[in-house]
Structure formats: C-alpha cells, structure tokens
Amino acid sequence: MRDGYLTVAGEGEHETEVNRSRFRCALAPVADEAAAQAFVAHVRQRHPTASHHCFAYVIGADAAVQRSGDDGEPGGTAGLPMLQMLLRREVRFTAAVVTRWFGGVKLGAGGLIRAYGGAVGAALDAVGTVPRRRLRLAAVTVGHERAGRLEHELRAAGHPVREVRYGVEVTVELGLPEADVETFRAWLAGATAGAARLDLGGEVYEAG
C-alpha cells in the first residue's frame, strides 16, 4: 500500500488556448467513482455549447480505478493523455474534465494529445495539490491522573491528537506513520512508566 499520494485541494478551473481552440480544465477532489461521474455530468451541463467534454479520473490511493473518455475526439488523443498526466503527477481521488471550444484550426493527433494533457498539467499547477499520507490509527489508554500531562506531551512531540474520550480511563486517539509505530511504543512506555496501553487500529490517509 502506498505511503501517500496527492489530490487537489478543492474544485478549480484553468483555461489555455491552442491555435484558437479554448481548453478549460475543471478539477475536483472525488471520493469515489459515483462522485467523479457526477462531476463530469455537472461540467457538461455548465457548458452546453462546447465542442467536447473529455474526462479522466483516478480513484484509490493505489489508482485502482482509472477511467477516461474522448467525447468525440479521435480515440486516445484526449482522455488518455489527461489520465496519464494525473498518474504522472501522482494525483489520486481526482476528476478532470477538459471542455473544448473548437477554434477552427485542426490540431492533429499529436497536437490534441499535447493540448489535453497540457491543460490538465496547467490546471494542477494553478489549482494546487495537497499531500495525503498513510497513518495507522492508534488508541492510547491511560488513567485520569496521567491523561492531561500525556496529552500535552503527545502534542509537544508532534503527534496530532484526533480525539480524547473520557470514561473509567482516558483514551487518546491519534494517527502514526507505520514506520514510527515501534518507536512510539517505546516512547510511550518511557513517558508513562508503562502505565499506558497502546491499541492499533486500521489505516487512513490524512493531510500531512
């Protein structure tokens, strides 16, 4: 499983012009394929007079779902170079739609490939990407008498605290890079004189 990936911070658009044809690339973060398809449909509705609405999206940290479409452009000249740009830039959970208004000058296969792929690359630069890193969820359980100090020490050590739950004992939830788990276990034992319990959970991808 990947240790991290990039995604777009939010929805955004960027327009380029090639030989009088306008190429407007719309980008959006998407959680699943249904969201990606909905975004493609939304862009189509927003620009009904355009010549083409070509798309590509990548879902999954490991790029398990990859789809693209040429929307009437010659096969392989639009959606595929868009998809390749997303993959080359390590971008995941992202949908891209390039809307083209034909300017009267044919670009040829090579020109279309450069224009569509380039439109996505330029939009990624303009809109910006954010990293997501893989973390192992961890729950630290400790007595009330040590909880306040431990929470302070966790934050001071740079471990973002996700949640604190109070019951018979206090449970502090946080996320750890997989490579840091054993080091953290040793640190926790020393910081609490062995009084805290560490339980590991599943994995998530979060900003960082």
pLDDT of res. 2: 67
> Are residues 14 and 25 in contact, defined by beta-carbon separation less than 8 angstroms?
yes
> Are residues 191 and 150 in contact, defined by beta-carbon separation less than 8 angstroms?
yes
> What CATH number should be reported for the domain holding residue 77?
3.30.230.30
| Residue 147 sits in the same domain as residue 179 | yes
Range of the domain at 43: 4-127
Among residues 127, 148, 183, the one where a domain terminates is 127
pLDDT in tens, the chain (208 residues): 567 899 998 999 999 999 989 999 999 999 999 999 999 999 999 999 999 999 999 999 999 999 999 999 999 999 999 999 999 999 999 999 999 999 888 899 999 999 999 999 999 999 999 999 888 999 999 999 998 899 888 888 888 888 999 999 999 999 888 888 999 999 999 989 889 999 999 888 877 6
pTM as predicted: 0.78
pLDDT of res. 89: 95
> Are residues 170 and 139 in contact, defined by beta-carbon separation less than 8 angstroms?
no
Neighbouring C-beta atoms of residue 144, cutoff 10 Å: 11
Question: What's the number of domains the chain is made of?
Answer: 2
Helices 79-88 and 108-127: crossing angle in degrees, nearest 10, is: 40
| Residue 197 sits in the same domain as residue 118 | no
